[in-house]
Each structure stands twice: as C-alpha cells, then as structure tokens.
Amino acid sequence: MPVIAVIGAQWGDEGKGKIVDMLAEEAKVVVRFSGGDNAGHTVVNPLGRFALQLVPCGIFNPETTCIIGNGVVINPAVLINEIDELNKRGVDTSNLVISDRANLIMPYHILLDGLEDEARGAKAIGTTRKGIGPAFADKVARYGIRAGDLLDKETFLVRLRSVLDHQNLILTRVYEASPLSLDEVYQQYCQYGERLAPHIKDATVMLEEALNREELVLLEGAQGTLLDPDFGTYPYTTSSSPLAGEGCLGAGLGPTEISRILGVFKAYCTRVGTGPMPTELEDETGDLIRERAHEYGTVTGRPRRCGWFDAVAARHSKRVNGFTGTAITRLDILDTFPGLKICVGYKLDGKTIDYFPASVTALDKCQPVYEELPGWQAPTTDIREYQQLPAEAQNYITRLEELISCPANFVCVGPERSQTIQKTAIF
C-alpha cells in the first residue's frame, strides 16, 4: 500500500486537516512531519468539530496509529492539553506515538520568539509566538532538547543545565530579560516527561513495519509551501519545511516510499501574518470573502488576508513539491460571486512574468494579471457528485487543473468530512 503526502500548497490553512481526517478512514498510520503548535488543523466529522495543533488528524480512527514525527517541534504543555481535551470528548489517544527524536519547545523559545519579532519592528514577521523559530534554530545549532531526553531524568538535567546557561546569556545580555530558573524548568519538564513517556518511542521502526505490511500511510503536512524557508516568501516564512520532501525527513522514511503527493489548495488565497501576497484584495471583495468564509486564524484568531486564486504561485508550488493531484477546498465560498478572477501572470517592472520571484522586494512589486471567469451563483454545499456541480463551477475547476497542470482528485464544498466530492481517483 502507498504513502500519500498531504501538503499545504499556499500560505497554510488550506484545509489539510479536513483532507487527512477523510483519508484517515482508510489509513493505518498518519505522521505529522513538520511545524509545531503554530499549526491549527480543523476537522469536522461525526464526533464534532476539533482544532488540532499537534495531534495528527487521523486520531479519530481508532485503527490508526498517529505519529508526531521527528520533524515536529513539540510544546509538551500544549500536547498534554490537546490529549486531555480529546479524551474528554471521548476520543481515544492511546495510539498516539511521539518520536523520541522530536525537539521540544522550551519556555525560553516562547520568550525569544516574542522578543525577536518585537525587535524586528516594522519588519516583524507576525509569528504565532509559539516559539517555533527559536526551537528550530536551536535544533540545527545543536542546542535542542528532544522528547527522548525526558525519559532519563539524570541525563536530562545535565543537558538542560548546559543549554539553559547558554539561553540565559541570550535572554539577559541581548534582551535584558530575566533569566529562567533551572530548577523550575527541570521540575516542570520532568512532570511532562512522566505524563508523555508511554507515547515516546522510536517511530521509524513502526513506520517501516507498516510499510512492510503494505498499509496506507499518510504524511500530514503543516503550514503551506509559500511559508517554506527556501521556496516561500523568505524571510516572511515559518522555520521548517512544509514541502513533500520534508515528509521523508520529518517522518523517517526514504523518498522512494512516497507514491502520491496531494497539494491542498483553497479555491482562492489567504495568508496570516506579514509578507507579500500578490493577489491580496484590500477592498470590499476581500472583506466579503473573509466574512463569508470566516477567515480568522485557528491558532491566533487574527483576520486572514484574502485574495483571488494565484495560479503563478500555484504552479511554483506544484513544481517544488511534485504534486500528483490536488484537493481544491472551499469552493462553496465562491457560490455567491457573479464573476471570479484567477491570477495567471505578474506584471513586474513593465514585463509580464509567469514565475514566482525569490525576492520579496520583487514580489512586493508584482501586480497580478487576471483572467475572469463567470461565477455560478448557486449553492454547492449539498452536492456530492462532480457532474452535479453548476457548469461554471466545473469550468472553474478545469481551469485550475490546466493552470496548475495537475488533476483535481477532490473538490470540497463545506467543512464537514462528508462535504467532499471525489473528482478523480488518487491512484
């Protein structure tokens, strides 16, 4: 059986959680492979409405092992709270596995995330302030503390002491903030460790076993391609890669194991935080999309910036991920518009270009070149067969398929698990 990677194709919040929840009805393993609790993945299924930050969206299938992979940075307090909330609502989390190699978010990461973004002043990234950037920076700088470290309290103390000495120097000398107490952090993280210990394991072995049994494995992406530190709008990005390639590194499997890569796109564009967004609509159309779609961040509650579908960015996303298919979500949000625009090129310094520039200075100057398509002005939320969609809606999807050069496997017309239309088979 195959491995399917479910990847955010825009600036995040495309509806990855919804797609993973649906596909997980058949999956034996779901692995979250990047990001941290900056993610907010909404699932609406027969058990209710859930917004998951760290627990993979396969958790609602009791037959599915859900792995938080080595590529994720984990805030243990957030994870414990999420587990408790799920349990309270009758969702079993005994099949949750935490990779012993996953790095932990520590209290100083959260402090530094706020201090660093404030220090950027007008150039602030508008991070989620969850400590994500500092935690990934420490991972590569080899100052990280990993989930597996919590399993041996003595070794953990030695490690924490040396790491905290360094972090306290930065807090006090660079930011003139108060130092953190070794004893307090140690005691708190020992408690987290006791609570999470039954879940902390070497996840790669069980992943290999699932592959050997030819079971369906899902790789659950977080964030979106345009927030990737290499291929996104750097430096206005997150700090781990949301790309399909990271699906291998952040889960612990080889690149040849991935058989399908599903790019999740909204039928339009949104972005939270600062940084270029060529099709942003700072007018009443943008407001209309935001209110109709209730585009406010799942994690921070911030209003999302809204705009038309950007096919230049979409092609870039397809190119760097190698999508084999797409899921187009939130088609229903466009139900009331008389006409719809799709950005098919950018005007930059008087020339029309068809690629997504690497430089944010260039991107800031890009003016979208639009193609206009007729709207359908009819409700789609109750439709379950592709052929039943209004002709204009089918045309819109066909045009997106042409522009992205990738077939749509799914079209979504509402937040619920059942509100998904399969257009073509994934395999």
Interface contacts to ligand GDP, rule CB under 6 A: 8, 12-18, 40-42, 44, 298, 329-330, 332-333, 412-415
Instruction: Give the whole-angstrom CA distance, residue 114 versus residue 117.
Output: 5
125-to-44, 233, 238, 275, 400 alpha-carbon distances in Å? 30, 11, 9, 7, 30
Alpha helices in 213-337 (DSSP H): 244-249, 284-293, 311-321
Please report how close the Cβ of residue 393 comes to ligand GDP at its closest, in angstroms. Answer: 12
Nearer to ligand IMO, 160 or 299 (CB): 299
Nearer to Mg ion, 167 or 223 (CB): 223
Q: Which stretch binds ligand IMO (CB under 6 A): 22-30, 125-133, 165-173, 249-257?
A: 125-133
CB count within 10 Å of CB 373 equals 18
Binding mask 3-32 for ligand IMO (x = CB under 6 A): -----x--xxx-------------------
Q: Any catalytic annotation for residue 316?
A: no
Q: Is residue 261 a contact partner of residue 7, using CB atoms and an 8 Å limit? A: yes
298 binds Mg ion (CB under 5 A): yes
Nearer to ligand IMO, 130 or 318 (CB): 130
Q: Is residue 69 a contact partner of residue 32, using CB atoms and an 8 Å limit? A: yes
Q: Which stretch binds Mg ion (CB under 5 A): 7-15, 81-89, 227-235, 316-324?
A: 7-15
One residue of 15, 40, 275, 278 binding Mg ion per CB under 5 A: 40
Nearer to ligand GDP, 242 or 345 (CB): 242
Q: Any catalytic annotation for residue 41?
A: yes
Instruction: Give the whole-angstrom CA distance, residue 217 versus residue 70.
Output: 16
**Helix (H) or strand (E) run with residue 107 in it:** helix 107-119
Please report how close the Cβ of residue 386 comes to ligand IMO at its closest, in angstroms. Answer: 26
Residue with tokens 């977080």: 222
Residue type, 196: L
Q: How far apart are the first and last CA of the chain?
A: 11
Q: Is residue 310 a contact partner of residue 319, using CB atoms and an 8 Å limit? A: no
Q: Which residue among 21, 41, 113, 138 is the active-site one?
A: 41
The entry of ligand IMO, ligand GDP, Mg ion, none near residue 15 (CB within 5 to 8 angstroms by kind) is: ligand GDP
Q: Positive or negative CA dihedral for 246, 252, 253, 255?
A: positive
Query: Which residues here bind ligand IMO, judged by CB under 6 A?
Result: 8, 11-13, 35, 38-41, 125-128, 130, 132-133, 222-224, 227, 238-239, 272-273, 298
Active site (catalytic) residues: 13, 41
Query: Which residues here bind Mg ion, judged by CB under 5 A?
Result: 13, 40, 298
